[in-house]
A and B are shown apart, each in its own frame.
Chain A
Amino acid sequence: MDTTRNELNRNLAQMLKGGVIMDVTTPEQARIAQEAGACAVMALERIPADIRAAGGVSRMSDPAMIRGIQEAVSIPVMAKVRIGHIAEARILQAIDIDYIDESEVLSPADDVYHIDKREFDVPFVCGAKNLGEALRRIEEGASMIRTKGEPGTGDVIQAVRHMRTMNRQIRELEALRDDEVYEAAKQLAVPYELARFVHDNGRLPVVNFAAGGVATPADAALMMELGAEGVFVGSGIFKSGDPAKRAAAIVQATANWQDADLLARLSADLGEAMVGINEDEIETIMAARGE
């Protein structure tokens, strides 16, 4: 990937800012998401809550199913590959996907190495629990970062933890003397140039979204309050009682997260939220996949 391509891929993430990216499993769901105001959709065969319930190995979705979703909507279509699965990523690039999510939600294909994303023209988004992980993924070529949250639980606690950790570490790095950044880069296990960028600019060099456990308009507003530039909503929409209404409410809550009167109206009469499970009730911590 040349620098222009990398820049164009970061630019697409900039265009998604302030928006909601929704998990969908069918063209019909994709149309509902677009109609509700989603800024992109994530095409996958099973949403994270079902992946967690079903267990077993979870892989890239069927390209025919992804194509069906690409044909159904005009907004960008993303899809997931397993961590380290170079061939799945090549397949998604071949079907002209708009963004690849190298995702811990699927079963990792490689427990040591992530994909060398610089070898691809198509953009990648990767999950990160903290600043070190985020900068390592960016060094590998990711052009967008999201928190890992704990997918499929409907419990926002991990997304909150990751977003707070990341932004606290950014503030700490920013506050250092210039000559202290070398040691900070060593501690974070990241290249000096990226640590220096964060020190100088007080932000990641790419857009940073929240993901994992967002189920309500209030959850989306909370993540924006904590510094997310937009949100991914996975199981929270199509596992709820009235997906179209909930989706539209989360879109509006993300756009106007500071307006409490509006949030009160948006939160009313949404029907049943996904039941969810608490973080401490689950066996597989997906966020621990890929450091």
Chain B
Amino acid sequence: MVVDVSYISKEHSEGIEGERSGVTGILAVQGAFAEHAAMLDRLGAPWKLLRAADDFDASIDRVILPGGESTTQGKLLRSTGLFDPIAAHIAAGKPTFGTCAGMILLASALEQDDTVYFGALDATVRRNAYGRQLGSFMTTEDLDTYTPVDGLHSEDDPSGVIADMPMVFIRGPLVASVGDDARIMAVVDGDVVALQQGRILATAFHPEVTDDTRVHEYFLGL
């Protein structure tokens, strides 16, 4: 998907001035944040880019953590002061969606790395699990969805399915082990690549670079 050039300078979607709630904040310190904004525009959902701590205002009640480099984003989360408001948002059980680097930021543990960022997703994630760029690939697989019991817990059994979802993995991570609180949404070749835990979604792949809006639509309904 090609993203319109105007996203370089846009700070939020059209007409959100005066909105007091219902806005999705997209972490915009590095990576493919414009692609998520373009997705939300297609669904008619208001969004705002989070570049500095001030951007996280009372209108934000959902957060997207986009693809990019997790080490870069991790540094900038600290230096911008965005870490604390996003951590509080997640701890309050509000909807949060991480793709690729976003999954790494959400994980409670990383393989071969002591760094923990938000630590909210009950899983151990393996960075660059498919190797370097030559290991990047695209596939199609079903995605199970789970009804949240509260913000950080879901029912045990799937309540729905997003069938034949295109999945683009770019130097992607995978889930090495799943804790009790997380539910498996998708498995590719025996490896877990998407999790749901209450109102947290995390995918090792990038729905935002495809034309398929269904995962974003599901997220907006959580």
Residues of A that sit less than 8 Å from B by CB: 4, 7-9, 11-12, 14-19, 34, 36-40, 70, 74-77, 93, 96-99, 121-123, 201-203, 205, 227, 229, 248, 251-252, 255-256, 259, 262
Sample (29) of A-B pairs whose CB atoms are under 8 Å apart: A4-B138, A8-B133, A8-B168, A9-B133, A11-B168, A14-B32, A14-B35, A15-B171, A17-B31, A17-B32, A18-B29, A19-B68, A37-B71, A39-B30, A39-B31, A40-B69, A74-B71, A74-B113, A75-B72, A97-B132, A97-B133, A122-B133, A201-B4, A248-B79, A251-B75, A255-B30, A256-B80, A259-B51, A259-B52
B206 within 8 A of A: yes
B175 within 8 A of A: no
Residues of B that sit less than 8 Å from A by CB: 2-5, 8, 28-35, 51-52, 67-69, 71-72, 75-76, 79-80, 100-101, 113, 127-128, 131-134, 136-138, 168, 170-171, 206, 209
Q: Is the CB of A205 within 8 A of B2?
A: yes
Contacts A11-B170, A15-B69, A18-B68; is A248 near B28 (CB within 8 Å)?
no
Pair count A-B, CB < 8 A? 124
Give B10 Cβ to nearest chain A Cβ, in Å.
12
Which residues of chain B have C-beta atoms less than 8 A from A259's C-beta?
51-52
User: A17, A97, A121 — which one has the most chain B CB atoms within 10 A of its CB?
Assistant: A17
Which residues of chain B have C-beta atoms less than 8 A from A252's C-beta?
76, 79-80
Whole-angstrom CA separation of A121 from B34 in the bound complex: 26
Which residues of chain A have C-beta atoms less than 8 A from B2's C-beta?
201, 203, 205
Which residues of chain B have C-beta atoms less than 8 A from A97's C-beta?
132-133
Which residues of chain A have C-beta atoms less than 8 A from B4's C-beta?
201-203
Q: Is the CB of A15 within 8 A of B75?
A: no
Nearest 4 Cβ contacts at the A-B interface: A203-B5, A37-B75, A39-B69, A98-B133
Whole-angstrom CA separation of A96 from B71 in the bound complex: 21
Q: Return the contact of B32 from the options A15, A77, A202 (Cβ within 8 A).
A: A15
Whole-angstrom CA separation of A251 from B79 in the bound complex: 11
Which residues of chain B have C-beta atoms less than 8 A from A40's C-beta?
69
**Contacts beyond the supplied A12-B136, A75-B72: 10 A-B pairs with Cβ under 8 Å:** A8-B136, A9-B133, A9-B136, A18-B28, A18-B33, A76-B171, A77-B132, A93-B134, A98-B132, A248-B75
Q: Is the CB of A15 within 8 A of B132?
A: no
Question: Closest chain B residue to A123 by CB distance?
Answer: B133
Which residues of chain B have C-beta atoms less than 8 A from A14's C-beta?
3, 32, 35, 67, 209
Contacts A8-B138, A14-B32, A202-B5; is A251 near B76 (CB within 8 Å)?
yes
Q: Is the CB of A15 within 8 A of B137?
A: no
Q: Is the CB of B75 within 8 A of A17?
A: no
Which residues of chain A have C-beta atoms less than 8 A from B113's C-beta?
74
Give B37 Cβ to nearest chain A Cβ, in Å.
12
Q: Is the CB of B72 within 8 A of A15?
A: no
Contacts A4-B138, A15-B170, A259-B52; is A36 near B31 (CB within 8 Å)?
no
Question: Closest chain B residue to A73 by CB distance?
Answer: B71
Whole-angstrom CA separation of A133 from B8 in the bound complex: 23
Whole-angstrom CA separation of A40 from B71 in the bound complex: 10
Whole-angstrom CA separation of A211 from B113 in the bound complex: 32
Which residues of chain B have C-beta atoms less than 8 A from A70's C-beta?
132
Which residues of chain A have C-beta atoms less than 8 A from B3's C-beta?
14
Which residues of chain A have C-beta atoms less than 8 A from B137's C-beta?
8
User: A4, A203, A227, A259 — which one has the most chain B CB atoms within 10 A of its CB?
Assistant: A203
Which residues of chain B have C-beta atoms less than 8 A from A123's C-beta?
133
Which residues of chain B have C-beta atoms less than 8 A from A251's C-beta?
72, 75-76
Whole-angstrom CA separation of A171 from B100 in the bound complex: 34
Whole-angstrom CA separation of A99 from B136 in the bound complex: 12
Whole-angstrom CA separation of A203 from B132 in the bound complex: 28
Which residues of chain A have C-beta atoms less than 8 A from B131's C-beta?
96
Q: Is the CB of A18 within 8 A of B133?
A: no
Which residues of chain A have C-beta atoms less than 8 A from B79's C-beta?
248, 252
Which residues of chain A have C-beta atoms less than 8 A from B76's C-beta?
37, 251-252, 255
Which residues of chain A have C-beta atoms less than 8 A from B133's C-beta?
8-9, 12, 76, 97-99, 122-123
Question: Closest chain B residue to A266 by CB distance?
Answer: B79
Question: Closest chain A residue to B67 by CB distance?
Answer: A15
Whole-angstrom CA separation of A252 from B52 in the bound complex: 11
Give B99 Cβ to nearest chain A Cβ, in Å.
10
Question: Closest chain A residue to B51 by CB distance?
Answer: A256
Contacts A203-B2, A259-B52; is A37 near B170 (CB within 8 Å)?
no
Q: Is the CB of A256 within 8 A of B52?
A: yes
Contacts A17-B34, A19-B31, A202-B4; is A121 near B134 (CB within 8 Å)?
yes
